[in-house]
């Protein structure tokens, strides 16, 4: 373990664009702050932007802001570029690196080199298999298996389904998809009639579903398993003339738009407009909680402070069904602790935003953290 006892220049940390929004590291002018880098890979979806916001908010939280100099770099879906950036972070004197790795194995050598130089490496959501790394994530296999089993049950063990997967090469996508396909393979009357790479993006999901629908009408599909895109799939069905009562069962992500659609049609919500409105949609909604990056940063600081931190932190898997979805009226910490799991459209205007932001382990970061990168005060 190393302590960051260096003088940092007064120039502001370089800003970078993340989905059109500036993502700026903490301005570091004081000595004795831990120099921590956020190393992101693929950023082309709402989840990644939200997770980055929560990392920034954690770094700015009371009790953390005086300890952390956070700097952010984005490699894109390119393992070699992420390797180069991590090497540069080590050379710049990093005390810890918090990362969403593009591959579970491709970064192993650069991570080992970082560890050998006393740099802590914490991966969130996706994993790194190098044994010196720390990992913070849900059980991704369960995230694939449980929704797949729900879908099979909804269909009575038979029917035509469509699969929309995530970002190829990540441990998240690989483990979820393999677990789901293992479930479907046990049911010979379940037929996969279309499969596409969705990149965890509502926009990409729409494009890929449109391609599948060029050869398979909605009436030829009985259900969907989607790592992201159930909100969009429901919207597309409405556009095609389906009634809310006729929506197909969809096993997929924890987007707020999808969870609002799951609410009973008589639920009163603020700012709702079709398709971002209660529809009674048949759904199971799971999530990789976007607070995982913020928690990884908190654990890295805890370790730098001399505390004990496990190499693997497995987060609870949020599972919400049409029976358990609950609207947050204001989105306060107390409401979330009491179990609400969907937010008013008037508060969260982006339906692709991910709603599973609550953890008792991270009281520093709540709704404003996920929306705009501001900590709880």
Instruction: List, in sequence order, every residue forming a beta bridge with 39; answer none if it has no partner.
Output: 73, 99
Note whether residue 214 is domain-resident. Answer: yes
Strands (DSSP E) along the chain, which ranges? 15-18, 21-24, 34-40, 68-74, 96-99, 120-124, 134-137, 159-165, 190-197, 223-226, 250-252, 283-286, 312-314, 319-321, 327-328, 342-343
pLDDT of residue 31: 58
Domain total in the chain: 2
CA nearest to 141, candidates 163, 100, 174: 174
Note whether residue 252 is domain-resident. Answer: yes
Note whether residue 61 is domain-resident. Answer: yes
pLDDT of residue 27: 42
Cα 49 to Cα 202: distance, rounded to the nearest angstrom: 14
Q: Do 158 and 269 belong to one domain?
A: yes
Q: Do 202 and 212 belong to one domain?
A: yes
Alpha-carbon Rg for the chain in angstroms: 21
**13 Cβ contact partners less than 8 Å away, ≥ 6 residues apart:** 24, 25, 26, 27, 28, 69, 70, 71, 72
Note whether residue 190 is domain-resident. Answer: yes
Tens of pLDDT, residues 78-117: 999 999 999 999 999 999 999 999 999 999 999 999 999 9
Q: Do 215 and 130 belong to one domain?
A: no
Phi then psi for 69, rounded to 5 degrees? -105, 100
Specify whether the CB–CB gap between 327 and 344 falls below 8 A: yes
pLDDT of residue 161: 98
Cα 18 to Cα 54: distance, rounded to the nearest angstrom: 14
Buried b (16+ CB within 10 A) or exposed e, 131-167: ebbbbbbbebbbbbbbbbbbbbebbeeebbbbbbbbb
Q: What is the CATH number of the domain that holds 132?
A: 3.40.50.2300
Cα 252 to Cα 13: distance, rounded to the nearest angstrom: 37
Tokens at 364, concatenated: 């520093």
Q: Do 297 and 278 belong to one domain?
A: no
Instruction: List, in sequence order, every residue forming a beta bridge with 120; answer none if it has no partner.
Output: 96
Cα 68 to Cα 142: distance, rounded to the nearest angstrom: 34
Tokens at 106, concatenated: 């491709």
Note whether residue 347 is domain-resident. Answer: no
Residue ranges in the chain modelled with pLDDT below 50: 1-30
Specify whether the CB–CB gap between 233 and 242 falls below 8 A: no
Q: Do 163 and 76 belong to one domain?
A: no
**Which residue's entry shows tokens 């391609």?**
211
pLDDT of residue 7: 27
Q: What angle do CA 95, 100, 105 make, to 5 degrees?
A: 95
CA nearest to 340, candidates 279, 244, 269: 269
Tokens at 157, concatenated: 């063990």
CA nearest to 75, candidates 64, 63, 88, 65: 88
Specify whether the CB–CB gap between 131 and 194 falls below 8 A: no
Note whether residue 132 is domain-resident. Answer: yes
Phi then psi for 207, rounded to 5 degrees? -60, -45
Containing structural domain, residue 255: 140-286
Q: What angle do CA 68, 72, 75 make, to 5 degrees?
A: 150
Cα 375 to Cα 377: distance, rounded to the nearest angstrom: 6
pLDDT of residue 70: 98
Tokens at 162, concatenated: 């469509």
Q: Do 91 and 173 belong to one domain?
A: no
């Amino acid at each position: 373990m190393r302590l960051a006892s260096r003088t940092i220049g007064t120039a502001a940390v370089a800003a970078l664009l993340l989905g059109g929004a500036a993502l700026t590291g903490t301005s570091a002018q004081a000595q004795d702050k831990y120099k921590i880098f956020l190393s992101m890979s693929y950023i082309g979806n709402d989840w990644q932007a939200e997770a980055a916001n929560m990392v920034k908010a954690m770094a700015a939280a009371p009790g953390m802001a005086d300890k952390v100099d956070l700097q952010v770099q984005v490699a894109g879906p390119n393992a070699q570029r992420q390797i180069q950036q991590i090497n540069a972070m080590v050379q710049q004197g990093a005390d810890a690196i918090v990362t969403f790795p593009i591959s579970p194995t491709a970064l192993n050598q650069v991570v080992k080199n970082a560890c050998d130089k006393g740099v802590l490496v914490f991966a969130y959501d996706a994993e790194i298999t190098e044994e010196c790394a720390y990992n913070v994530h849900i059980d991704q296999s369960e995230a694939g298996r449980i929704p797949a089993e729900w879908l099979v049950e909804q269909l009575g063990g038979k029917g035509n389904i469509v699969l929309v997967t995530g970002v190829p090469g990540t441990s998240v996508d690989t483990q979820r998809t393999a677990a789901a396909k293992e479930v479907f393979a046990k049911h010979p009357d379940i037929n996969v009639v279309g499969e596409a790479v969705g990149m965890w993006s509502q926009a990409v999901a729409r494009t890929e579903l449109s391609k599948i629908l060029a050869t398979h009408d909605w009436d030829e599909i009985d259900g969907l398993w989607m790592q992201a895109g159930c909100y969009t799939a429901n919207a597309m069905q409405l556009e095609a003339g389906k009634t809310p009562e006729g929506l197909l069962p969809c096993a997929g992500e924890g987007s707020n738009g999808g969870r609002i659609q799951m609410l009973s049609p008589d639920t009163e919500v603020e700012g709702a407009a079709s398709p971002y409105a209660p529809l009674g949609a048949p759904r199971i909604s799971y999530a990789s909680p976007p607070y995982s990056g913020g928690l990884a940063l908190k654990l890295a600081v805890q370790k730098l402070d001399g505390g004990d931190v496990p190499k693997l932190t497995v987060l609870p898997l949020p599972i919400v069904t049409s029976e358990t979805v609950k609207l947050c009226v204001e989105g306060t910490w107390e409401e979330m602790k009491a179990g609400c799991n969907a937010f008013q459209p008037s508060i969260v205007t982006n339906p692709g935003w991910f709603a599973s932001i609550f953890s008792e382990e991270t009281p520093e970061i709540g709704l404003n953290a996920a929306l705009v990168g501001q900590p709880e005060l």
